[in-house]
Amino acid sequence: MRLGTCLLPESLTLQGAHPKLAYFCSALVAGYYAAVDNPAHACRFWVVSAVFHSIMLRIRVWFREHFLFPRTLRGINREKKMKNYLAGAVVAASVTMGANAAYADCGEVSITEMDWASSAVVTAVAAFLMEQGYGCDVQKVPSSTVPALTSLAETGEPDILTEVWANSTPSYQGLIDEGKLVEVADVLSDGGVEAWWIPAYLAESNPELTTWEGIMANPAAVGGKFHDCPSGWACDIINNNNLKAAGIEGSGLERFQHGSGETLQTSIAAAYADKAPWFGYYWAPTAVLGKYPMVKVEVPGYDAEGHTCNGDVDCANPVFSAYPASKVATAVSSTFAEREPEVVELLNNVSFTNAQMGEVLAWRLDNNASYDEAAVYFLTTYKDVWANWLSDDAKAKLAAVLN
């Protein structure tokens, strides 16, 4: 039996919980959900839902402190953490009030959860609004850009692709031209920034390293490594072709490909902790570039034709080219656009400024929070922003959160 939204992680059940936790809440939860699942009895629980979720909030905090994050929470301001857990309980209470009316409205929806932080936050926010405001049954699909676009081209799924960095993905425009994909919004309204960087302290001590020529003259000064993004990311192919065009073979500089966005992020934090050399790819908006000052390395200017070729794994003649200012979009399959026009209208409006996203990501980093918790932080901090994304019906269903 599930404990429900904002209470325990989705992968945990009462049967799998600690015996004390299961004993304490099994009878209460069983009775509650039995009633809510019966439409005839559901309304009487709307009034008491806030009380119920306040109780469950205390259970959740106890469970997390003892079993999920005992070390992490010691270093976080408890008052601030409780404030955000309370916000989660308010969200959960409002969900219960609208659940029976909402879930008849929308069918199953699949949405990518790309393997980098800003995209995962976008997915968590969009999934919450689709589920609780529009009644969708949302399935998050862990993926990255190239596999997601390949899957959509071949199968028509997933329905929604969040945070596609369009300029770095040559196949993206082709799918739009073929009518398989519909672009619905600039999800990062300011656009994205992609570049090669060194830490600010390294640029201050060795200003010559702010140019590609300076790095090639002394690769050891940057640690002899180029820290690159994981396989499956569009930048994986582009950076590899750029490095080929730049002629790094035998230069003393080696490409080091990280296994995930988290390890790439951690490598910057570790370098800063030791004031060690670091050179590699990163992008904005991110918490990392907000927290750790980095300086762009000057490379040859943007070459549109060359950059397009660089995005192809089989590019015959790579060109050393800077990244353009990036268009960062949300896109949906054409069949989904026809099937769920009201949800597409919502997605048309879901857009974050770089400042908003950077602030949310910095909060997540400082609090070692999950993406869902970062979504709750955004929803409680920026209500005036996302309220304008919603239809009137969705606003009514989410009134308890907005008010």
pLDDT tens, residue by residue, 195-241:
999 999 999 999 999 999 999 999 999 999 999 999 988 899 999 99
pLDDT band (50, 70, 90) for residue 62: very low
Higher pLDDT, 27 or 217: 217
E strand or H helix that includes residue 284? strand 280-284
Least confident stretch, 53-62, 148-157, 343-352: 53-62
Residues near 3 by beta carbon (within 8 Å), at least 6 away in sequence: 12, 13, 14, 25, 29, 56
Helix residue spans in 287-367 (DSSP H): 287-291, 304-310, 334-339, 341-349, 354-367
Helix (H), strand (E) at residue 271:
helix 261-274
Q: Omega into 70 within 30° of 0, i.e. cis?
A: no
Kindly report the average pLDDT of the chain as a whole number.
79
% of the chain with per-residue pLDDT over 70: 74
pLDDT above 90 for 115: no
pLDDT band, residue 92 (cuts 50/70/90) = low
pLDDT per position as a tens digit, 294-322: 999 999 999 999 999 999 999 999 999 99
Numbers of helices and strands, H then E, in the chain: 20, 10
Read off the tokens for 210: 């702010």
| Residue 181 scores a pLDDT above 80 | yes
* Six token digits for residue 271: 């370098």
Long-range contacts for 338-341 (Cβ within 8 Å, ≥24 apart)?
339/107, 340/106, 340/107, 340/109, 340/136, 340/159
Kindly calculate the radius of gyration of the chain based on its CA atoms and give it in whole angstroms: 23
